Structure 1
Amino acid sequence: MNKTNLIAAALLAAFAAGAPVQALAAGPDLKVALIAGKTGMLEAYAKETETGFMMGLEYLTGGKMEINGRKLKVIVKDDQSKPDLGRTLLAEAYGDDKVDIAVGTSSSGSAIAMLPVALEYKKVLIVEPAVADAITGDKWNRYIFRTSRSSMQDGLAAASTLKGGSVAFLAQDYAFGRDAIKAGKDALKATGSKAVVVHEEYAPQTTSDFTASAQRIFAALKDKPQPRVLGIVWAGPNPMNKIADMHPERYGIALAPGGNILPVLKTWKSYPGIEGTIYYYYAFPKNKMNDWLVSEHTKRYKAPPDMFTAGGFAAASAVVSALAKAGSGDSEKLIAAMEGLEFDTPKGKMKFRKEDHQALQSMYHFRIKKDQKNEWDLLELVREIPASELPLPVKNKR
């Protein structure tokens, strides 16, 4: 029997057994690695990312966990937010596990350590949720894409709400905080704001008493032109309520916190009217995908999805869209498919910019609600800030 007859016989046997022809045509499993800091200081962020990622794959594949007839396998690894471990686990994922694409990680330090590994193995890495500008800036390479927002996008969103006056910043004294404040200052210039930065305050990550920091900030701001704004950028338990308890309003100072996860936002309930900007809040986006995420997450976990849940979902959408468009896990085909790729997320559409592979996306200007109807009814939308109003500079050396 010749080769053609053998194929025909196999097809006839498949029909006789009731097996779908697609199963014969399907290739090997598609493998994705998800690396997150599941233990350590960013454990809460990592848990949300993993939940959102898996829910995203479920939604986007109709629960089949297949793309173009090929099974999708997810391998989850915990880098403990340690750069050396993140680098090792990504090499293991590409080399030993033979994944087609990887997603990660929670810590910017670990994510930056992983970037050269993607280049070494010539494999795509989607960064989520790390925000350091260097990831799509001077540390970038062509295998790196990012669905999470960058520090500069955070800064541009905040800057869009400040037209003038005087600004002070409070941040943690490590890479994330300093990167964020640099981005905030650059963003004020980029948006044409006339606001002047009069003070930068950096406190240790373990700080619990902010009295000295607040006194320095108040002294720097109290006699400066109005409006006087204190921008707070802090990962983890946020000091905003402690600063608010020192009554900055007596000096005409308004607080402007950056967005945070829901357990932190709940601690701000006693300060209605305070405004800030955020990457995602479950009640803001109005689209079918977000409706499903909010409904299903609330049903399964008795709480609405958080900002890193939405981020994990967005990364899943990028993975599915890229693999479906490329038709394989080949890195060159993936890069060609992903540059300029638009994909739906719970926030709405995102687009990977061709120049640096950063996902362009909307941000949100919020106000803490005065009338809160339930435990999670925390923020009201002042305005969605479209990507077109966030003049994100290209900072890589492509």
Structure 2
Amino acid sequence: MIRRHLIAAAALATVAASGAAFAQSNEIRIAHIYSKTGPLEAYGKQTAVGLQMGLEYATGGTMMVNGKKIVLIEKDDQGKPDLGKSLLAAAYSDDKAALAIGPTSSGVALAMLPVAEEYKKVLIVEPAVADSITGDKWNKYIFRTGRNSSQDAISNAVAVDKAGVTLATLAQDNAFGRDGVKAFAGAIKKAKLVHEEYLPPATTDFTAGAQRLIDKLKGVPGRKIIWIVWAGAGNPFK
């Protein structure tokens, strides 16, 4: 419920902080930039439905805040960083969006961060998880409503970080995968991490990567675990 109210509250705060020209408008324009298509389409659709439901819930079905109508502008970044960056710039400049929400991909989010700073407008990141979004790449216009890679990693590490356990990781070779493994490795204190395997995000045949993981763990005594960080169409569990 808190996350549902956050977007409407952020929109209202943005209106209050905007200039006179926007204050005279009868609309609050919000850009939602996400993976409507592409490898993360399933996650994008969930976010779009949740955002619409959240706005309706937070406004009691009126889609109004402080007498102003909320206009939701949807844009498809297709999971492409350059496209997401240009769409955000267009949303702020051409569509006159008061703030933006998204994207689905961490790589797209990282490309968007400088745009929010350039236009001095809020970007609420949801659901991209890379630590660097609100870490070393962060600026004061960036807010996050979801979890990050470290939170995922620490909770998983608690379950497997035991003496005598040997670990290997499999992840996508992108910001999401690498930040996830970095956070996981940093949270491991007792177990031993012997190999990190990174594959292209669009991988569907995991045979070669799986063989490298098996070879690294072969002959190692004790419990052996492969920790996987993956999102999108490919399924390493098949």
Q: Structure 2: which 5+ runs fail to align?
A: 1-23
Q: Deviations over 1:254-285 (max 9, x none)?
A: xxxxxxxxxxxxxxxxxxxxxxxxxxxxxxxx
Q: Which residue of 1 aligns with 2:56?
A: 58
Q: Which residue of 1 aligns with 2:20?
A: none
Q: Deviations over 1:293-332 (max 9, x none)?
A: xxxxxxxxxxxxxxxxxxxxxxxxxxxxxxxxxxxxxxxx
Larger radius of gyration: 1
Letter in structure 1 aligned against 2:235: N
Q: Distance in 1 between matches of 2:34 and 2:204?
A: 27
CA drift of 1:153 comes to 1.6
Higher deviation after alignment, 209-218 or 77-86: 209-218
* 2:182 pairs with 1:186: no
Q: Distance in 2 between matches of 1:98 and 1:72?
A: 13
Q: Is the 8 Å Cα contact of residues 129 and 147 (structure 2) preserved in structure 1?
A: yes
Q: Distance in 2 between matches of 1:163 and 1:205?
A: 27
Q: Which of 193, 198, 209 is the matching residue for 1:197? A: 193
Higher deviation after alignment, 75-84 or 201-210: 201-210
* 2:170 pairs with 1:167: no
CA drift of 1:225 comes to 4.7
Q: Which residue of 1 aligns with 2:73?
A: 75
CA drift of 1:106 comes to 1.4
Q: Which residue of 2 aligns with 1:149?
A: 147
Q: Which residue of 2 aligns with 1:306?
A: none
Q: Is the 8 Å Cα contact of residues 36 and 77 (structure 1) preserved in structure 2?
A: yes
Q: Deviations over 1:137-185 (max 9, x none)?
A: 1111000001132122211121121231211111123333222211210
Q: Deviations over 1:177-202 (max 9, x none)?
A: 222211210122xxxx3111011122
State the secondary structure of the residue aligned to 2:159: coil
Q: Is the 8 Å Cα contact of residues 221 and 228 (structure 1) preserved in structure 2?
A: yes
Distance 1:209 1:102, change over 3 A: closer
Q: Is the 8 Å Cα contact of residues 112 and 135 (structure 1) preserved in structure 2?
A: yes
Q: Which residue of 2 aligns with 1:273?
A: none
Q: Deviations over 1:107-157 (max 9, x none)?
A: 222211111111111111001111122111111100000113212221112
Q: Distance in 1 between matches of 2:28 and 2:90?
A: 16
Q: Distance in 2 between matches of 1:151 and 1:227?
A: 25
Aligned residues: 212
Q: Which residue of 1 aligns with 2:210?
A: 214
Q: Which residue of 1 aligns with 2:236?
A: 239
Distance 1:120 1:238, change over 3 A: same
Letter in structure 2 aligned against 1:240: F
* 2:220 pairs with 1:224: yes
Map of 1:343-362 to 2, 5 A cutoff?
A: none
Q: Distance in 2 between matches of 1:233 and 1:54?
A: 28
Map of 1:269-284 to 2, 5 A cutoff?
A: none
State the secondary structure of the residue aligned to 2:70: strand
Map of 1:286-325 to 2, 5 A cutoff?
A: none
Q: Which of 93, 112, 120 is the matching residue for 1:122? A: 120
Give the TM-score taking structure 2 as reference length: 0.81
* 2:136 pairs with 1:138: yes
Q: Is the 8 Å Cα contact of residues 232 and 240 (structure 1) preserved in structure 2?
A: no
Q: Is the 8 Å Cα contact of residues 26 and 67 (structure 2) preserved in structure 1?
A: no
Q: Structure 1: which 5+ runs fail to align?
A: 1-25, 242-398
Q: Which residue of 1 aligns with 2:176?
A: 176
Q: Is the 8 Å Cα contact of residues 107 and 174 (structure 2) preserved in structure 1?
A: no
Distance 1:135 1:228, change over 3 A: same
Q: Is the 8 Å Cα contact of residues 35 and 76 (structure 1) preserved in structure 2?
A: yes
CA drift of 1:213 comes to 2.7
Q: Distance in 2 between matches of 1:205 and 1:115?
A: 22
State the secondary structure of the residue aligned to 1:161: helix
Give the TM-score taking structure 1 as reference length: 0.50
